[in-house]
Amino acid sequence: MNFETEIGRRADEVSAFLRAWFAEFGPERGNAIGRLADSMAYSALGPGKRFRPVLSLLVGESLGIPAIKIMPWAAAVEMVHTYSLIHDDLPCMDDDDERRGRPTNHRAFDEATALLAGDALLTEAFGLIGDAYSGAGATAGRLVVLLAHCAGARGMVGGQALDLAAEAASAQREIPLADLRRIHELKTGRLIRASTEGAAIAAGAAENGVRAFRAFGEKLGLAFQIADDILDAHEEGQDGRSFVQHLGVEGARRELAGVSEEARALLIGIPAASPLLVKMIDWNLDRRA
């Protein structure tokens, strides 16, 4: 089993689902709504690892559930992640001109359209969940609440608020490591946790299974951010909002190894966990992008 091939196949399935969703998005073309849809698709269908939705699919596989049942949740999480990237790139946030080798959304379109594209992706994600799971008892409600909590003020958006405040404060003082960990747990880790926890809910897992995949997602989310900080260590102008700045490259690598082992230990407690989830931990340890 070739890890890159297997993960790539699942990422392609997510992209195909999203392309089909955009194809049915609406008949309007040549007007402002058509341009908005093009802006949404530009980012949602652009190059990327599809890390979060692939995690969801792997959780579903671990629980013996067909991908088609998990895919709407996986795609909804990817839509929320995409909205966050569009908004992060705006001039009022990180003011980035390029992402993944292409102009950022507001450069390819304009600031107002990019803002609306992010708003629409976030909102449509909840509609996708409702459409897909409304016939499954309380599942749709649980998934909507989970995504709201993980993406909203108690999760990803709250982490972004803390990050912006830390950026303003970092000129006067170094951000404490505990505060940095909190920022990353919310800003990056919470949506990764949603990927695994929500997939377990969509699969109809027992509560102990949902809790196990929630805990795994939390650890993997933190490990993912630490790996990102190590990859970014060569860039100039880093501030104190990085594990590398606090611990040094070698210290950050040790932290990454420790958190990764905690994630691995959690998978040992899930006997049916897909081997690809274990390999995902190893991939994150060694990734170069």
pLDDT tens digits for range 30-67: 789 999 999 999 999 999 999 999 999 999 999 999 99
Structure tokens at 72: 């709407």
Q: What percent of the chain has pLDDT over 90?
A: 78
Structure tokens at 193: 């946790």
CATH superfamily of 3-286: Farnesyl Diphosphate Synthase (1.10.600.10)
Q: Could you tell me if 142 and 201 are in contact, meaning their C-beta atoms sit under 8 angstroms apart? A: yes
Give per-residue pLDDT as tens, 193-216.
999 999 999 999 999 999 999 999
Is residue 173 scored above 90 in pLDDT? no
Residue 94 has what pLDDT? 85
Is residue 3 scored above 60 in pLDDT? yes
Is residue 238 scored above 60 in pLDDT? no
Domain spans of the chain? 3-286
Give per-residue pLDDT as tens, 112-127.
999 999 999 999 999 9
Q: What percent of the chain has pLDDT over 70?
A: 96
Residue 171 has what pLDDT? 65
Is residue 27 scored above 70 in pLDDT? no
Structure tokens at 52: 């979060």
Q: What is the mean pLDDT of the chain?
A: 92
What pTM does this model have? 0.94
Residue 271 banded pLDDT, cuts 50, 70, 90 = confident
Residue 26 has what pLDDT? 66
Q: How many other CB atoms are there within 10 angstroms of residue 206's CB atom?
A: 10
Residue 263 has what pLDDT? 96
Nearest Cα to Cα of residue 58 among 260, 270, 288? 270
Q: Which residue has the tokens 């899930």?
A: 270
Residue 172 has what pLDDT? 67
Burial of 168 (0-12, 13-18, 19+ CB in 10 A): exposed
Q: Could you tell me if 48 and 256 are in contact, meaning their C-beta atoms sit under 8 angstroms apart? A: no
Q: How many residues does the chain have?
A: 289
Is residue 87 scored above 90 in pLDDT? yes
Burial of 43 (0-12, 13-18, 19+ CB in 10 A): buried
Is residue 284 scored above 70 in pLDDT? yes
Q: What average pLDDT score do residues 73-102 get?
A: 95
